[in-house]
Structure 1
Amino acid sequence: MQRDENGWRVSVDVLEVPRIPDTTSLLATYEVELDPDGKLLQYRRVRRYRRGSADD
Structure 2
Amino acid sequence: MVSNGLKKIRNKHGMSISELARRANVNRMTITNIENMKTTPNLDTVIAICKVFEMK
Bucket of the pairwise TM-score, normalised by the shorter protein: under 0.3
| Structure number, greater radius of gyration | 1
> Whose helix proportion is higher, 1 or 2?
2
> TM-score with structure 1 length normalisation?
0.19
> TM-score with structure 2 length normalisation?
0.19
